[in-house]
Structure 1
Amino acid sequence: MKWYQSLARWTLLAAVGLLGVGYLANGLSGDGRSTQPPPIPKGTTASETADWMEVVRDVDAEFETTWTRESLSTAPAADWQTVSRRVSLALIGSSISLEDMRWLESLPEGTQVDALTERLLADHRFADYWAERLGRAYVGADEGPFIVYRRRRFITWLSQQLHDQVPYSQIVRQLITAKGIWTENPQVNFLTVTLDTTEKGRVDPVRLAARTSRAFLGMRIDCLECHDDFLGNVNLGTTSEPLEGTQRDFHHLAAFYSTAANSIQGIRDDGEAYEYQFLYEDETEEVEPIVPFLPELLTTDPAADDLPTRQQLAHWVTHPENIPAARAAVNRVWALMFGKPLSDPVDDIPLHGPFPAGLDRLAHDFAEHDWDLRRLIRIISHLQTFQLDSRCDFEVTSEHEQAWAVYPLIRLRPEQVASSIIQSCRLATLDRQSALLVQLQAFGEKNDFINRYGDTGEDEFGQDAITITQRLLAMNGKLVNERTGENPFMNASSQIAMFATDDAHAVEITYLSILNRRPTDEESAAWIRQSEQGVSRRQFVEDLYWILINSSEFSWNH
């Protein structure tokens, strides 16, 4: 090949590469698809949302009453960029891409948070992220027994249910009543995850009763498995006639699952009775399936007595008048939105109260509107408590935090840290529309980072202090070093250094990409002074990226 032919080939490859980089960097100017508003799903006009806005006003009034009664000052309202970042972290577990920040900035003032919420609720990333979060409450975080349990299939099924907007009550009923093979009917994995602790090839009623009480009822009655409640931690009965929890209450709940057995056809009901030897008793006895509270809801259906026990339990748990179950769902959704539950712990809500402000009103609305998760999320995102700032001009006390008079400072969970790092180091939005190789790379990077950083397991809302190992991983780990290093085809830092019009523009784009806000005048001036110290634009932007990713502002929801 002659020299000029070789030169022409390399020139063509370089031109294609520059076009590719230019396409990746189109978010710098805000041009391209980032400024095109996506179609907003139905059900979001002012007239259609008037009913749930009434709930917002009612809950806001309850919190304001609490603040007035306790003479608490409240933080001012946060800016739309801060609230938008909260929404993104809550719904997809990641900060906002530069591409979407540019789109949001193009929208009329005051519409950004609503538009982002609707966009993300319609995005598969919301369904995928919430399926993983809810899945930990339903089946745990471990891989479970070999062959008879497929956690990934369960999470994929749950994600599709959420994306298809299947009511929460229907999802719960499918889990409790699941039958068949765990691969063909992924919801069956809610039951088969317990097969590793049984000797007869049957599901474990005790573990399923514990999971049901915590995940669906928001009660820790599994402490009654071995003995009665001697400490007054479990109260059942009614508001007017409360009863202390007993060992029998727990095993009556477990009896609903005793009929589920595993066979060559998968999970099926064979009608076997539940037997247990209670403390201080000499023999085992047959235990009748009885719900731990509101027994009248179990027999409202005339055909209830003819239903298999698991169907009876499913109907009872999701009955519109089973407000404790609705409270449990609301409390978990609140925890996923804020990073901490309204009633703490998330799975231990007193049956008869007292309840924190807003919980009962939200629970009744949730039950009355077909257990609609998206409606509940919209309501919470519009609450004054969700839109308060975490900074204020008065000393924040524990009373302020307990009354939600300021937005809580919550350390990001490992998956949120990983996803935010990966997203902030790319200019375009990482979603299912991204190139397959890009998605696979991001998936691998995220899993590797979480494995090293430490997964919280089922303890979704613990607030342990960050460890030295975690801090070092963020500072010197492979993910941060590779994503902030020189790579004009993949890394935002290199693309910003190449295409930013000046240093001030580079600082602005970097802040929008990482912290989802513009720098203050003081911040911008300080960084520009640093850039004038003789370092190259590329090195300056790389250093700025590393510093902001390792800042406290990046690693906390605020």
Structure 2
Amino acid sequence: MPASARNWILACLPAGVVALVISLVAWASSSPLKKTEPIPVLQNEDSLTRTIDQVDQFFTQEWQERELDPAAVADELTQMRRLSLALHGTIPSLEEIREFQAMSGDDRLERWTLKLLDDRRFADYFSERFTRAFVGVAQGQFIVFRRDRFKAWLSEQIQANTPYDELVRKLIAGEGLWTGDPETNFITAAVADGNLDRNKLTGSTVRAFLGQRIDCAQCHDHPFDHWKQTDFEGLTAFYGQVEVQVLGVRQNNKLKYEVEDRNTLETRTVAPQVPFLNECLPEEGTLRERLATWVTHPDNRRFERASANRIWGLLFGVPYIDPVDDLPAPTDLTQEAPDLLDILGQDFRENGYDIKRLIQIIVASKPFQRSSSTDMVDSEEIQRATRAWALFPLVRLRPEQIIGSMLQSSSLKTIDQNSNLFMRARRFFSEIDFVREYGDLGSDELNDFPGTIPQALLRMNGQFARDNGSASPFNSVGRITSLDISNDKRIETCFLVCLSRPPTAEELTHFLKQYESASNQEQREKVTEDLFWALYNSPEFSWNH
């Protein structure tokens, strides 16, 4: 690691723990390397294969009806890169690429997917994506809200593969202190100025778990949808008996949910009621327990469809139906055959709301395997093919994916939970600073966003890019330069480290000329630095293809 980066990290740490950090790093550096985890073996599960085939048949029929020729299957390294970005928030390391290339068998991508899902980085990354959807990005009132505890709790649930419906019920009905029972932060996220905003809870619940927007009905009947103001009030009444006390989130059965009539200005009591599927609302339990059961009820198609649409969006960068929180009600669907969300949702429900299984199905399907490249020249045809998922959609990387990729490309080894303390600290502080400068996408992260000139300049000339791209015995630039390999292999290694692919013949020829003109080690370092800078700032580095 360059001295400037090392000193920067130490400066960020409290003075009293610097000595402890140094001793821990020394211990970690001297400890034997952890053995590589074995690649998981695929289980021969007919139901999984049947669902994948059903998804593929759905899209094959769609493409035929629309007279679309789907793009070719993307090469395995391209699929590997998009898997790593979607599941871990970073590009694969050179170490991982070599491990993947050493695998045999036609099913190695499927087995690699299982390996990524078993890795702790998956739980940590997806917990942040879910946290944004469930409680947003604001830190809220620190006294009663701990976003970091909520995210850590979600990570544990995902790592344990807790059924998604069970996880959601814990969020809606949880009780206790926000530090000791982190799931209650879903409730305390709605606290503002010391008051619990029950209307905000209702809106968050319906958007996050049912994929629909009911917020408009808070003040009046929805002008374009089925939602009525009485629907919103009836749902909010289920949160009417929850209160945030010194000892945590508690149920107070004595409370009644009251609203002020806008016409008469008189206060009236609202009874809890659901706007549809009343037969799915249990009679037993607290109000929030009853609501949680209704939201996740197997007969509530909105829940499984919204879940499938969100996971699809997290993997592709674009939801199947956009926006992710404004899906058509199942009663509005006119097709006779099940659509994609019905296919995925049914499998999700029938197999215990298994998030990892749902991901396996989606990434094994034909749309996820398509290339983003096409011979089409007409922009309207390209958009039509993209909308039909006959082309893999081009999406800009998220800020944490950009910094995660830049950091990973600075190391030939995988940066994960087993990396030494300094490397993990560097990633933690780098991500915070970079996202702050680059700009956060907020909780509305699945909508398209434009790139900006300041963002491009940050990748070109930011402090992290300068430190990363300067040759050092401890980073990729320095190590690749010093390797006793041919210049062809040196260029290929740079491309694999940064873009997860080998160079084209034209690219190889261009950069070979640069190396051939370098007569000593210092000049070779400069060529490698320039090559890394060019790769960092290529459009390919900051997009998902």
Aligned to 2:526: 539
For 1:266-285, list aligned pairs within 5 A: 266-271=248-253, 272-285=255-268
In 2, the alpha carbon distance for the partners of 1:261 and 1:75 equals 54
Aligned to 2:18: none
TM-superposed deviation, 1:37 = 6.3
Label 1:307 to 1:448 Cα distance change in 2 as closer, same or farther (>3 A). same
Residue 245 of structure 1, aligned match among 215, 219, 227: 227
TM-superposed deviation, 1:371 = 0.7
TM-superposed deviation, 1:198 = 5.1
Aligned to 2:205: 212
Report the 3-state secondary structure (helix = DSSP H, G, I; strand = E; otherwise coil) of the residue aligned with 2:250: strand
TM-superposed deviation, 1:71 = 1.1
Structure 1 residue 307 corresponds to structure 2 residue 290: no
Contact 2:409 2:498 in 1 (8 A): yes
The superposition leaves residues 72-121 of structure 1 with CA deviations (integer Å, 9 ceiling, x where unpaired) of 12101111100111110110110000000010110115333223211111
Letter in 2 for 1:450: V
Residue 496 of structure 2, aligned match among 489, 512, 515: 512
Contact 2:85 2:401 in 1 (8 A): yes
Contact 1:122 1:163 in 2 (8 A): yes
Aligned to 1:548: 535
RMSD over aligned Cα, in angstroms? 1.9
Residue 431 of structure 1, aligned match among 409, 416, 424: 416
TM-superposed deviation, 1:281 = 4.2
Contact 2:39 2:112 in 1 (8 A): no
For 1:373-522, list aligned pairs within 5 A: 373-395=355-377, 396-489=381-474, 491-522=475-506
Contact 2:178 2:188 in 1 (8 A): yes
For 1:29-428, list aligned pairs within 5 A: 38-41=37-40, 44-45=42-43, 47=44, 49-197=45-193, 199=195, 203-230=196-223, 232=224, 234=225, 244-271=226-253, 272-298=255-281, 304-352=282-330, 353-354=332-333, 357-395=339-377, 396-428=381-413
The superposition leaves residues 500-524 of structure 1 with CA deviations (integer Å, 9 ceiling, x where unpaired) of 4121111011111111111122221
In 2, the alpha carbon distance for the partners of 1:500 and 1:383 equals 41
TM-superposed deviation, 1:186 = 0.6
TM-superposed deviation, 1:530 = 2.0
Aligned to 2:19: none
The superposition leaves residues 345-402 of structure 1 with CA deviations (integer Å, 9 ceiling, x where unpaired) of 0111011344894111101111111110000000001000000001122234322111
TM-superposed deviation, 1:39 = 2.5
In 1, the alpha carbon distance for the partners of 2:269 and 2:384 equals 49
Contact 1:247 1:278 in 2 (8 A): no
Report the 3-state secondary structure (helix = DSSP H, G, I; strand = E; otherwise coil) of the residue aligned with 1:261: strand
Report the 3-state secondary structure (helix = DSSP H, G, I; strand = E; otherwise coil) of the residue aligned with 2:192: helix
In 1, the alpha carbon distance for the partners of 2:105 and 2:394 equals 26
TM-superposed deviation, 1:197 = 4.8
Contact 1:217 1:325 in 2 (8 A): yes
Aligned to 1:10: none
Q: TM-score w.r.t. structure 1 length?
A: 0.87
Report the 3-state secondary structure (helix = DSSP H, G, I; strand = E; otherwise coil) of the residue aligned with 2:258: strand
TM-superposed deviation, 1:484 = 1.0
In 1, the alpha carbon distance for the partners of 2:262 and 2:348 equals 39
Letter in 2 for 1:291: V
Contact 2:323 2:447 in 1 (8 A): no
TM-superposed deviation, 1:468 = 0.4
Q: Which range moved further: 331-340 or 272-281?
A: 272-281
Letter in 2 for 1:510: C
TM-superposed deviation, 1:213 = 0.6
Contact 1:227 1:279 in 2 (8 A): no
In 2, the alpha carbon distance for the partners of 1:78 and 1:41 equals 23
Contact 1:80 1:112 in 2 (8 A): no
TM-superposed deviation, 1:38 = 2.8
Work out the number of aligned pairs and report it: 505
In 2, the alpha carbon distance for the partners of 1:198 and 1:146 equals 11
Contact 1:323 1:367 in 2 (8 A): no
Contact 1:66 1:357 in 2 (8 A): no
TM-superposed deviation, 1:316 = 1.0
The superposition leaves residues 198-218 of structure 1 with CA deviations (integer Å, 9 ceiling, x where unpaired) of 54xxx3210100000100010
Q: TM-score w.r.t. structure 2 length?
A: 0.90
The superposition leaves residues 117-153 of structure 1 with CA deviations (integer Å, 9 ceiling, x where unpaired) of 1111111100000000000111110100121111101
The gaps in structure 1 that reach 5 residues or longer are 1-23, 25-31, 235-243, 299-303
Contact 2:234 2:272 in 1 (8 A): yes
Contact 1:297 1:319 in 2 (8 A): yes
Label 1:402 to 1:499 Cα distance change in 2 as closer, same or farther (>3 A). same
Aligned to 1:239: none
